[in-house]
Amino acid sequence: MAGALYGSKGYYTTRRPILGARGDFTTTPKLTNLLAQRISIWIQKAWERNGILPVIELGPGDGTLAKDIRASLGFFARRKLNYHFVEISHHLAARQQEKNSGHWHATLKEALSKTDGKALIISNEFFDAFPVRIFNSNLEELFLTPQNHEVWQPASDLPDSTLFKNPPLRFEAGESIHQWFLTDLSPLKKGEILTIDYGGNQDEVYHRRPLGSLRAYAHHMRLLPPEAYQNAGSQDLTFDVSFPDLVHWGTQIGLEEVSLTTQADFLGTNDRKGAGGAFKVLHQKRI
């Protein structure tokens, strides 16, 4: 999965139209600027709590969200904005730079080194693109043959995840996200984190989903396993994020959960049965 997404011929590291009507999927910032407006309000309130801190956006897509956040801030607030982008894709960074000014970094750890470890960190659909390991309720791990046939083998080790307390039939463990918390997010000395992504708790994610949540998107079509394993590097691979894990891993590095709500509540809309309910908004802060 890491190779398919981020390898030399990976989905995110090669030039292709992945966003919008001509791409494989779209995101909330491409449909409305309401998310940017609400995040701009959150930024200004966070400045009141912490003082003026730089803003770091993780996985900024084509730069639309950052552009709309800047536009949503008032004139004087806009002058205080010190915006940093964390992007590993050179072609996406180029698209972001067409719309925005700021500072670009390959990793959050690099960005935090430039902000003295102090920042407001925001992300929209960032963690759902991390590689995962897949397990079943018997604690066997999924492997693929060269022909993309599924093979289950006894797990040699189990990653740290709340999902193992009562394992679903088939589920994704975000071990790479946990490692990212330990290596990239832990240098945060002062600040707050706003995470927006699709997912939730175990019941929300895996109810009536015996195949788990891993899927691919190609030309706005959702592909489940085994079709999701085909055309590696040419289609998006994603999964639903375990928010209890994000909270759990945050406490390990000294973060406190401020709130966890739906995107609908964050935006003040009634879309609780659609994307507004499927997406969650997690607010954490450095203790």
Domain of 12: which CATH number? 3.40.50.12710
* pLDDT tens digit sequence for 210-243: 999 999 998 878 999 999 999 888 888 999 999 9
Q: What is the pLDDT of residue 200?
A: 97
Give the count of beta carbons closer than 10 Å to the beta carbon of residue 274: 12
What backbone torsions phi and psi does residue 141 show, to the nearest 5 degrees? -105, 145
Angle in degrees, 0-180, between the axes of helices 90-99 and 64-72, rounded to the nearest 10: 30
Q: What is the pLDDT of residue 29?
A: 65
Q: What is the pLDDT of residue 22?
A: 53
* Mean model confidence pLDDT for the chain: 93
How many structural domains is the chain composed of? 1
Q: Report cis status (omega within 30 of 0) of the bond before 226.
A: yes
> Residues of the chain whose pLDDT is less than 50?
24
Question: In angstroms, rounded to a whole number, what is the distance separating the alpha carbons of residues 224 and 205?
Answer: 15
Q: What is the pLDDT of residue 272?
A: 83
Question: In angstroms, rounded to a whole number, what is the distance separating the alpha carbons of residues 4 and 37?
Answer: 34
Domain that holds residue 255: 2-286
* pLDDT tens digit sequence for 143-190: 999 999 999 999 989 999 999 999 999 999 999 999 999 999 999 999
Q: What is the pLDDT of residue 271?
A: 85
Question: Which pTM does this prediction carry?
Answer: 0.93
Distances (CA, A) of 219 to 17, 23, 183, 231, 252: 10, 6, 34, 13, 39
